[in-house]
Structure 1
Amino acid sequence: MAYAIADSGTTIVIADRDHTTVIDQARALPEVDPVREWVWLDEIASFGMSVETDVPAAAIDERDAHIILYTSGTTGFPKGAVMSHRAHILHAMTFALHVGAHSDDVYLNVYPLFHTGGTDCALLPYHFVGATVVLLRDPRPDAILETMARHRVTAMMAVPTIWRRLVDAPGLGTRDLSAFRRAMGSSDAMPLDLLEQVMTRFDATWTQTYGLTEGGCILTYLPPADHTRKIGSAGKAHAQADLLIADPSREADPDWPTGPGHRLPPGETGEVVARTEHVMTAYWGRPDQTATSVRNGYLRTGDFGYLDDEGYLFISGRLKDVIISGGEKIYPAEVEPLLRTYPGIRDLALVGVPDREWGESVLAVIVPSEAPVHHGVAEWSADGGAAFDADAFRQWARSQVAGYKVPRHVVLVDELPRTTGTGKVQ
């Protein structure tokens, strides 16, 4: 919090008293010296009475800055993405249209409000159509299910981590969730088994999306009619977005990614770039990083992906996540969904580790379904056998993927480290 306050130059902080300890700790840090007012939510009324009733006129343009949203920071310190009034309204309209938001909806928001999923995919679009938005402070499975039943929730978006916890929750079958109609997801593609469980157990349709904070936020939608036919896809770009796959090897060209030969044909993997009216204005206070991220009007997403012959987007992974082993490129996001289907795996992530012979080799970090883990290795069962057989897993993997994509190393852990707002693996 102190970092965001200092980076943004915040002068007024409004907080709930539940965060008293954190606020007290922050106020003791030199980074927050620019703050002039610390205001508790329950004091807003009295604070407002001290302000002049004659508010000075101010000319506000639709392209003026409206909010600074900080990125999740999986690759370093978070950067503040500046969003205009125009960007927020256009995105709210587009989102509401594509997900079928209606005035009689009751939407449950399980994202933090500092995250684009909380503001751009919950508050703004559903308020735009006159719907009700329920805010949940702590997105525990039991709290989510209880809130869905009590408020007759009709729609909710969540990352796969949350949906997995919900379908595994012991109290799911005891709740009256008959009002629920639309389930949605973002950040990561839904595994087929999880998608089928969500649709069956919640008796709801599914819409998959793809976006990022800097994009303001959602760029593509996969509607319910396509979720099975295009499983694994993030959908097609909406009408306000021009999305293409650019050749990253040509990024030094001054006119990249709009010049001849920059746009890759269907089926070829490259960097996902997009142009839209609701993209961020800039990174707050970072003109050089803004210039690097927005090239000739196109936002660099930092994601690798490809378009199929119908224009559906498939994400292959982050640019920084690519593993190069023996000269071959391995995109974890392409391989991980398949490897997760192996019996006994609850979660899995692939990373590259230094390899003297191959440059890099693949390390699979696995969360077993049942086996307890101690200090990064599997506990041994009473009969002397391993709770998870890494050799059997690798042998199976060789029958599923190309040899250079098979993990050479396996580490078992209790859980994967994930970001707070999106559940992305760090």
Structure 2
Amino acid sequence: MKLWTIVKSQSEISDDQKNRIKALYEGVFLQPQVSGIATVSANKVPLLHLKRKVGTNWEYSSNLTSVYLNILHKIATAGTTFKVKNALLTGVGKGSICVEVVKGLFSGGAHIVITTSRHNRSTVEYYQSIFQTFGSRGSALTVVPFNQDSKQDVEALNGREIDGIDNKSELAHCIMLTNLLRILGAVKGKQASRQFLTCPTQVILPLSPNHGLFGNDSLYSDSKISLETLFQRWTSESWGEYLSLTGAVIGWTRGTTLMGLTNIIAHKLKSYGIRTFSAKEMAFNILGLMHPLLFSITQDEPIWADLNGGMDRLPDLAEITTRIQSSLMKESDLRRAIAHDNATDYKILNGVDAECLIQTVDVLPHANFRFKFPDLETQETLINVTKLCDLIDLEKVMVVTGSGEAGPWGNSRTRWEMEA
């Protein structure tokens, strides 16, 4: 912001030049505000931390967490690069975290392959607009049609209890677990067929702290828990040398399609010690996991990135969210009643007509049809019409005359179209 303040204060620079300078360095002006490197201790666990496997359990690692936080600090201040990197992303829908991840990868110069089940013009133009805005040198975009049996983030995924599991729930389970494993198997097969033994593919697994905390989430939590078995299979099966695993436990992310309905209660959760994230903040945390330093570590052992912001520390999260929603509903009803009473008092004291002065009026657009005068034939084109004489019976010809009229069919021209 200091650079832009200096540029803006120069009176000899025109407004047009200032706008062009701001457009060129907009990414610099809007870079995150960095307050300093966070200190990590073994006693206090940060809201963003990494775990490593000790025996059969995942335990907090202060060393890995310190490396991760230093990486985030470095990316925020100096940036990073994803040059010559290829990324395959699924689930890149509007309003998702993946969209923000795509923007970061484009800015770093990566080649991104995006899969979509709706390979039409509007979808491709949407991804193209992102690439045109955030694409940098060396970056590339490939959009391929891919049907993962998905419909708008699994239509009506939430809202099903254990006795209400239906075909949509089974479809969601297939998308989030079975077909995801098939994708990983296909990648491993390509790696093995080409004998890529020294360049494993990094896999960011989308995990969730919701292990039934909210309730009414059908097979969602079961699918996420089942993904955790991949960490055991990484060592027990033969594909570990082709794929490196990083599990990202996604926290409460505001504004996404999945969590959009809960935005109203997100700010209240801070009083309970929970950290909520915007889609850009969560994407920034995930991009930090793709740093070359952490990637080199995942080639030796899987990493568990706990990005849930403390959600797992509240065992009664469902009760808390219900209580917050009830409180907000009561407050809304109270404010609505107060506003209604104030409006009634104002009408009594000032009269009914006075209330009209403070009411908003919705102005709706009206039709504005314009019918130009029809193009008339020129004299040259009418020379040869004499041969049409006496070809029709004039007694049976319908003639409509008049101009400047307004009727059920509009003006004289539109009435002619209807009647003749």
TM superposition score category, shorter chain reference = under 0.3
* TM-score, normalised via structure 2 length: 0.21
The structure, 1 or 2, with the larger RCO (C-alpha pairs under 8 Å, 6+ apart) is 2
Would you tell me which structure has more helix in proportion to its own residues?
Answer: 2
* TM-score, normalised via structure 1 length: 0.21
Larger Rg: 2
Would you tell me which structure has more strand in proportion to its own residues?
Answer: 1
